[in-house]
Amino acid sequence: MQLANPHTSDSIKKPLVHGQPAKARNVNVQIARCSTHTVSVLHRDKIAMKATNFLTLPDDRQLAYAEYGDPNGHPVFYFHGGGTSRLEPLLLGNEAFTRLGLRLVAPDRPGIGQSDFQPNRGFSDWTKDVIFLANALGLDKFSVLGISSGGGYAAACTAKIPHRLHSAVIVSGAWEFATADWLEYKRWGFLLIKYFPWLYQASMKFTQRSLNGPPDKILKTLQKTLPAADYAVLKSPGRIEQSCEALNEGLRSGTRGTAYDLQLYFRKWDFSLDEIRMPLTLFYGEEDRNVPLELVKRTAATLPTAKLVMYPNEGHISVVVNQIEAITKALKTYQN
């Protein structure tokens, strides 16, 4: 896909914020209703967080992003999972990233949260948005962290812009699904995403309505489907509310962006994994019920520079929270 006004260089440029040459703008807004609460995440951990910023891209799309952690810490671009948004890092909390010495930049992908939709895009187009945002923030080099459905975007950055990266980490990441894969692993729900996206969007609207219910009722429903480790994480005080925030915000402008985002995993990717030449660390929980682990192992075996780390008794969500120290260590391991 070629942007209407494509990025032709990754050199430092003067970004446009709502049409004016300036640094990215911070907007103090009230966002995302979960249950009966409206939350201003700028002061959740008594530390100023830039929860909603806007950057105008060269094709006039608006890109929304959040910043967490230590402003002077190791810069990490955080790519959120499917159906959620730039608020996803709140599951760990701003203080955790400050303590770990990380500066997290978490953008909403096109059509998700408060970022404008981008038709006909692929994974590689995301790297152009990332470069433009990095330039706007004055970041020459940075790390990328892809969570769940953010994994393909981290892989694309690893393949396409390794010269801008310190390191690359994927946690609980999804990979390209061929028809044979979802048949082999009996993931029939994938049929909706691939062949009946309109039906999947309808199911997402139903899910969004359920997110506004009492937290204890949501937890009771999740307990039936989640591995014990994931349930334990979400049962911790405040975490189910934070998850609801992130999910509701992801669907703020509708379901089209999230549905398109997930559909990319069931199409031929617009870059080759053979292009990946820099180190890539993969973290997964052996109790993950979202991503077929055999597919993960098969994919990792084709990547000479990849290191696969598996944790017993961890799930899709819990590995991010419980193994954040190991993840941080990998992020801070600079490539040569």
Question: What whole-number distance in Å separates Cα of residue 185 and Cα of residue 168?
Answer: 28
Give the pLDDT confidence score for residue 58 in this predicted structure. 97
Q: Look over the chain and give the mean of its residue pLDDT values, rounded to a whole number.
A: 83
pLDDT greater than 90 at residue 41: no
Give the pLDDT confidence score for residue 266 in this predicted structure. 87
pLDDT greater than 80 at residue 74: yes
pTM of the predicted structure, to 2 decimals: 0.83
Give the pLDDT confidence score for residue 51 in this predicted structure. 82
Give the pLDDT confidence score for residue 124 in this predicted structure. 98
Percent of the chain residues past pLDDT 90, beyond the cut: 66
Position 213 confidence tier, pLDDT thresholds 50, 70, 90: confident
What is the β-pairing status of strands 280-285 and 306-311?
Answer: parallel
Question: What whole-number distance in Å separates Cα of residue 46 and Cα of residue 35?
Answer: 22
CATH number at 16-331: 3.40.50.1820
CA 279 from centre of chain: 20
Give the pLDDT confidence score for residue 328 in this predicted structure. 98
Tell me: the pLDDT tens digits for 255-274?
899 989 988 998 899 999 99
> 């967080």: which residue's tokens?
49
> What's the first-to-final CA gap in the chain, in angstroms?
32
Tell me: the pLDDT tens digits for 25-34?
433 333 333 3
Position 43 confidence tier, pLDDT thresholds 50, 70, 90: very low
Tell me: the pLDDT tens digits for 76-121?
999 999 989 999 999 999 999 999 999 999 999 999 999 999 999 9
Asked whether 123 and 155 are in contact (CB, 8 A), the reply is yes
CA-nearest of 52, 63, 1 to 27 is: 52
